[in-house]
Amino acid sequence: MKSYSILFVRPDNSRAELVAELQQETDCHWTTVEVDCNPGGGDTWPPESALSTSASHDAVLIQVPEYCPVADFATVVVELIRAHPDTLLFLLIDATRVDIVRSLSDICACGLLLPDIMTPPYMACRIRNEINRRRLQQDLHEANTFTSQVIGSAGEGIMVIDTDRRVVIWNRAMERLTGVASSKVLGHKAYEAMPIMAEHDMANAVQRALWGETDPTCDVRFRGRDSERTIWLTATFGPHRDTDGRIIGVIGLLHDVTQRKEAELAIRHMAFHDALTGLPNRRTFRERMSEAQANADRYEHSFAVMAVDLDRFKEVNDTYGHEAGDLLLCLFVERLKAQLRKGDLLARMGGDEFVLLLPEVKGEADVEPVAAKIVESLSEPFVIEGKEVTMTASIGYAIHPDDGHGSQDLFRRADRAMYRAKEAGRNRYCRSVPG
């Protein structure tokens, strides 16, 4: 513990023995200032200069003169307290001086040291206790100030709600994330500022924290007030406990993870989609193919696979270059999409090879018109770099279960049918044949 320092102001040395014992009992550093006073000498004792160094001490002890020169000493004490609000003031005065003691009791009762009825050890204990109490108050104030500064300047959103879900703390980062000032939300239900607080993931995480679970976390999409931008937030909650360990609320940490989420979504999209056309890739097609097979078996309906390959695409690349070829592929995809039914899946397998999954058909009558529409859609030329380019396609399709039972078998049969269409002269479609 840091040592104490007391400024002792006295009119004379009349209490030398008592003061010496007090000094020994308090076991701290004393600085003594002796200020003479004369009975009837006016209302200026002790003078302001006597307390000029009070700020550098833990407490000030004033020995009240036996013959107080001030008519209303209580008023002087009030002025001293007003002039030095942070000073811990003690007054050494006998209890027999009833009038002065009574007038001072309402002003600084804890600071009255009455040597005629209090022992030096007791008075020293009062001094130490008051200094310790003041230090604890200062430490607590500094800690609260520091905590407030940390919470206020934190980059993460920090919120604290009570057991009724009312907001107790709402830092500046929360203001930025939500667009709601703390003055508008403190004391109000959290979901009034953040409606997602009432939605399943967030509400569940908050409830788990109220039950005592540590760090329940969820990722949510959120759009703040007066904002057109939707962001991703990671919210982590924990129980807020009082000094007895009882849960009195929830502490929430919210962090904008939009960049990370968008990067994850972009990586996922790249893993399942073709970079050039944005179509699902071979991996996605196989997964959807397996799903179609399972659904067909479960609900006893048919599905079809259609292989589509551009005719003489290499000639376009050789004549106009690969960039023109890439543009043609993208234009071709847009034209194909216009021919699809709701629920159909178009995927790029690589190069100029595409595959179409029709997940639910009744038979040939549903499949053949789709192939015919694709062939017909290509009758109009494409415009590449200001030049018209005619492009056709060869199509082969197979229907489950008539043309094959397994999804891979069906795909192979559709692919073989597509090559038969090419051999038959291109710009046409063929259905798989048995065998």
Class of domain 5-145: alpha beta
Q: Please tell me the predicted confidence (pLDDT) of residue 325.
A: 93
* Whole-prediction pTM: 0.55
The rounded distance, in Å, linking the Cα atoms of 326 and 347 is 16
Q: Across residues 94-98, what is the average pLDDT? A: 89
Q: Please tell me the predicted confidence (pLDDT) of residue 145.
A: 83
Q: Is the peptide bond before 401 cis (omega within 30 degrees of 0)?
A: yes
Tell me the range of 176-185, 364-373, 426-435 where mean pLDDT is highest: 364-373
430: which strand partners?
A: 396
| pLDDT tens for each residue of 327-362 | 999 999 999 999 998 899 999 999 999 999 999 999
Structure tokens at 168: 């107790």
pLDDT band at 193 (very low <50, low <70, confident <90, very high): confident
Q: Please tell me the predicted confidence (pLDDT) of residue 143.
A: 83
Tell me which of 292 and 228 has the higher pLDDT.
292
Closest CA to 304 of 391, 414, 221, 202: 414
Q: Please tell me the predicted confidence (pLDDT) of residue 3.
A: 79
- For the chain, give every domain's residue range: 5-145, 154-260, 276-431
3-state secondary structure (DSSP) of residue 119: coil
Q: Which CATH number fits domain 276-431: 3.30.70.270, 3.40.50.300, 3.10.20.340, 3.30.470.20?
A: 3.30.70.270
What are the backbone angles phi and psi of residue 390, rounded to the nearest 5°?
-90, 135
Percent of the chain at pLDDT exceeding 70? 96
Q: Is the pLDDT of residue 435 over 70?
A: no
**Mean per-residue pLDDT of the chain:** 90
How far CA 408 is from CA of 17, 28, 304, 404, 414, in Å, comes to 107, 92, 12, 9, 10
Q: Please tell me the predicted confidence (pLDDT) of residue 38.
A: 67
| pLDDT tens for each residue of 109-160 | 668 999 999 999 999 999 999 999 988 888 888 888 888 888 888 889 999 9
Q: Which CATH number fits domain 154-260: 3.90.79.10, 3.40.50.150, 3.30.450.20, 3.40.50.300?
A: 3.30.450.20
**Burial class (CB within 10 angstroms; exposed 0-12, middle 13-18, buried 19+) of 419:** middle
Tell me which of 30 and 36 has the higher pLDDT.
30
